[in-house]
Amino acid sequence: MAAILDERSPSLSFQGSIGRRRERVRWNVLIELNGCPMPRYYFNIIAGDGIREDLEGTELPSLEDTRLEAIEDARTLMSDAILLGQDISSRRLEICDEGGDVLLTVLFKDAIKPVA
């Protein structure tokens, strides 16, 4: 069984959720205008044998938008960790639907491009 990661760890905090909230507000306005329900996705952080579950979720129009959001979140979390002298590039985000099924996995290390 996976351990629950400590929410107080700076490298695990969901700093990217601020950006997601802004996007959620924007998309919710579109929902209200179009009257179309959007799926809710959950961005769970996996680190070793621990998991930090996203209990709130985010409504996004497509799985591609969800993938782009996950990449942005991974970059934000890695940036915060680097400023604290930590390397969290071995972590990953699992994007789940409302039923808990994993739809997509984004590796933190894949969210950045190596440069020479």
Query: Cβ distance 60 to 38 under 8 Å?
Result: yes
The lowest-confidence range among 28-32, 57-61, 63-67, 90-94 is 28-32
Mean pLDDT value of segment 9-18: 46
Quote the CA–CA distance of 94 and 92 in Å, as a whole number: 6
Say how far apart CA 83 and CA 22 lie, in whole Å: 24
Identify the sign of the CA torsion 22, 75, 12, 102.
positive
DSSP single-letter state for residue 105: E
pLDDT tens string 89-108: 999 999 999 999 999 999 99
Residue 8 in this model has a pLDDT that exceeds 90: no
Q: Nearest to residue 41, comparing CAs of 111, 91, 101?
A: 101
- List, as one string, the DSSP characters of 1-29: -PEEPPTT-TTTS-THHHHHHHHHHHHHH
